[in-house]
Amino acid sequence: MKQILILTCIVISSLVNSPLLAQQNAFIEDYLERLENSRKYLILVAETMPEDKYNFKATPDSKSFAENLMHIGYALDWHSQSLLGERESRNWKTDTTFAPLNKSKKEMIATIEKAFDETISLIEQFDTSKLDDELDYFGLNRSKRQIFLLLSDHVTHHRGQILVYLRLNGVVPPRYVLFQ
């Protein structure tokens, strides 16, 4: 009986310390570091734009600076809470959490900070055994690992747009920080 118990402990220990699990945990650790750096830079960009320029649009059909900023928050929420965390999605057209209307610059930045906090909290607790689980992403099968990467790409895409908005308004963007 004692030998079976020892053997069971060895097998369980080897599974817990497997290279695959270590790689998955390293992915989460690396991702969290990158996401935190992305947050710092985005908040710096948002703080740099004067509040009276938050409604600026590069073209009439474009999102405004504020709309892009709030869209980043919505995407953080949707990718993390709904796709990775399996919570029902907010309705972009009717939910007011990420609507810029009647929000001050300070309120929008606080909304973005909260979205990052909630995203980071979910990712810190994410079950790495689910990284390869697949789900429908606009008609394509994507793993949850790919959802992590799509989330980062989306933040970068819209942050790039609002960096251009700074320049178009004669505002020098904050210096780019590597590894985000």
Residue 5 lies in a domain: no
151: domain CATH number is 1.20.120.450
Q: What residues have CB less than 8 Å from 164, skipping those under 6 apart?
A: 58
- pLDDT above 70 coverage of the chain, percent: 85
pLDDT for 69-89, tens place per residue? 999 999 999 999 999 998 898
Residue 5 or residue 107, greater confidence: 107
pLDDT above 80 for 10? no
Provide the pLDDT for residue 4.
64
Residue ranges for the known binding site are 71, 154, 158
Residue ranges for the known binding site for a divalent metal cation are 71, 154, 158
Query: For the chain, what is the domain count?
Result: 1
Domain range holding 156? 23-168
| Residues 33/38/44/47 CA torsion (nearest 10 deg) | -120
End-to-end Cα distance, the chain? 52
- pTM for this predicted structure: 0.84
Q: What distances in angstroms separate CA 141 from CA 77, 128, 138, 145, 157, one per listed residue?
A: 20, 18, 8, 12, 22
Residue 176 lies in a domain: no
Residue 48 lies in a domain: yes
Residue 134 lies in a domain: yes
**Rounded to an integer, what distance in angstroms lies between the CA atom of residue 158 and that of residue 128?**
28
Residue 131 lies in a domain: yes
Q: What distances in angstroms separate CA 6 from CA 16, 17, 18, 19, one per listed residue?
A: 15, 16, 18, 22
pLDDT for 124-142, tens place per residue? 999 999 999 999 999 999 9
Q: Which DSSP state fits 78? A: I
Residue 12 lies in a domain: no
Q: What residues have CB less than 8 Å from 93, skipping those under 6 apart?
A: none
